[in-house]
Amino acid sequence: MTKFLISFPADAMDVAAEEIAAAGEASRAVIREAKAAGIYVFGGGINSQVAPVMVSADEGCITGTYRQTREFDGGFCVLELPSRAAAVQWAARLAAACRCAQELREFHYDAES
């Protein structure tokens, strides 16, 4: 089985205020189905109220992030699935629930992770 990251940036959700609650419930319903199917690994949303920090090997912390990930926000989940085709199907279900396209990425297999 392969792990897949399904995600979207916060500003991709172009949903009217009165639709936010329904989109949230629809996405949670898909996640509940993934949990029931035994394919859910973990997921959540990035807390935009807490600034990211860069942590060095000596445990030093500075506020900020890599330039490439400055815009990393929104929601994500990791599902463990038998194929990319299955991952596309789950990503499509989440896209319908969240009312925005989902980015799909595959994790490289590492026997120790």
Report if residue 37 sits inside a domain: yes
Name the residue range of residue 97's domain: 6-104
Residue 77 lies in a domain: yes
Is the residue at 35 inside a domain? yes
**Domain harbouring 52, CATH code:** 3.30.70.1060
Contacts 24+ apart (CB under 8 A), 25-32: 26/96, 26/97, 26/98, 27/75, 27/94, 27/97, 27/98, 29/97, 30/90, 30/93, 30/94, 30/97, 31/77
* pLDDT tens digits, 81-101: 999 999 999 999 999 999 999
Residue 109 resides in a domain: no
> Does residue 113 fall inside a structural domain?
no
Note the pLDDT tens digit of each residue in 10-25. 888 888 999 999 999 9
Query: What's the number of domains the chain is made of?
Result: 1
